[in-house]
A and B are shown apart, each in its own frame.
Chain A
Amino acid sequence: MLLFDKKALAAFRQNKIALVGLGLLLIIIGAAVFADFITPYDVRVQDVRNRYQPPSMEHFLGTDEYGRDVFSRVIIGSRVSLKVGIISISIAMVFGVFLGAYSGFKGGWIDQVLTKVIDSLMTFPSLILGILVVAALGPGERNAIIAIAIAFIPRFARVARGPSIVLKENEFIMASRACGATDLRVILHHILPNLVGEVVVMGSLWVSTAIIIEASLSFLGLGVQPPTPSWGMMIKAGMDDIQMAPWLSIFPGLAISLAVLAFNLLGDGLRDLLDPKLLK
Chain B
Amino acid sequence: MFAYAVRRVLFTIPMLFFVFTVIFFIMRVAGGDPTYSILGEHASAEAVVQLRLKLGLDDPLSVQYISALKNLIKGDLGNSLINDRPIAPQIMKVLPYTIELTIAAIIIGLVIGIPSGVAAALKRNGMTDYLLRVFSLAGLSMPSFYLGVLLLLAFSVQLDWFPIIGFTRSENFLDRLHCLFLPALSLGLNKAAFVSRVTRSNMLERLGSDYVRTARAKGLSEFKVIFKHTLKDCMIPIVTVSGVYVGVLLGGAILTESIFNRPGLGKFLVEAISQRDYNAIQSGLVFYGILIVLINLAVDIIYGFIDPRVKYE
Residues of A within 8 A of B (CB): 120-121, 123-128, 131-137, 208, 212, 215-216, 219-222, 235, 238-239, 242-243, 246, 249-250, 253, 256-258, 260-261, 264-265
Contacts and interface: CB of A to CB of B under 8 A. Distances in A.
B269 A131 contact: yes
Contacts of B118: none
Contacts of B252: 127
21 contacts: A121-B22, A124-B247, A124-B288, A125-B251, A128-B247, A128-B254, A131-B269, A132-B26, A133-B26, A137-B30, A216-B143, A220-B258, A220-B270, A235-B145, A235-B149, A242-B149, A250-B150, A253-B142, A257-B142, A261-B138, A264-B140
Given A219-B258, A221-B274, A120 B18 contact: yes
A265 to B, nearest CB: 8
The dominant DSSP class at the B interface is helix
Contacts of B250: 125, 128
B103 interface: no
Interface string B64-87: 000000000000000000000000
A256 B138 contact: no
The dominant DSSP class at the A interface is helix
Given A124-B288, A246-B153, 4 more contacts: A128-B288, A131-B254, A253-B143, A260-B143
B142 A120 contact: no
Nearest to A238: B149
B285 interface: yes
Nearest to B28: A136
A215 B248 CA distance: 15
Contact of B255 (A220, A242, A246): A220
B68 to A, nearest CB: 15
A258 B138 CA distance: 9
Contacts of B153: 242, 246, 249-250
Contacts of B274: 221
Interface string B219-248: 000000000000000000000000000011
Interface of B: 15, 18-19, 22-23, 26-27, 30-31, 137-138, 140-143, 145-146, 149-150, 152-153, 157, 247-248, 250-252, 254-255, 258-259, 269-270, 273-274, 281, 285, 288-289, 292-293, 296
Nearest to B146: A253
A132 B288 CA distance: 11
A256 B149 CA distance: 13
Please name the 10 residue pairs, one residue from A and one from B, whose CB atoms are nearest each other, closest first.
A127-B251, A253-B146, A261-B141, A125-B247, A136-B30, A125-B251, A136-B31, A260-B141, A212-B143, A257-B142
A186 to B, nearest CB: 31
B31 to A, nearest CB: 4
Contacts of B30: 133, 136-137
Contacts of B143: 212, 215-216, 253, 256-257, 260
B197 to A, nearest CB: 11
Given A212-B143, A256-B143, A264 B137 contact: yes
Nearest to A17: B137
A105 B58 CA distance: 43
Nearest to B154: A246
A120 B19 contact: yes
Given A239-B149, A256-B146, A220 B137 contact: no
Contacts of B248: 125, 127
Contacts of B269: 131
Nearest to B18: A120
Contacts of B19: 120
A103 to B, nearest CB: 17
Given A242-B149, A257-B141, A261-B141, A123 B292 contact: yes
Nearest to A254: B146
Contacts of A249: 149, 153
A235 B145 CA distance: 9
A132 B23 contact: yes
A120 B145 CA distance: 27
A120 B15 CA distance: 7
B29 to A, nearest CB: 8
A243 B157 contact: yes
Contacts of A243: 157
The residue in A131, A243, A256 that gathers the most chain B C-beta atoms within 10 A of its C-beta is A131
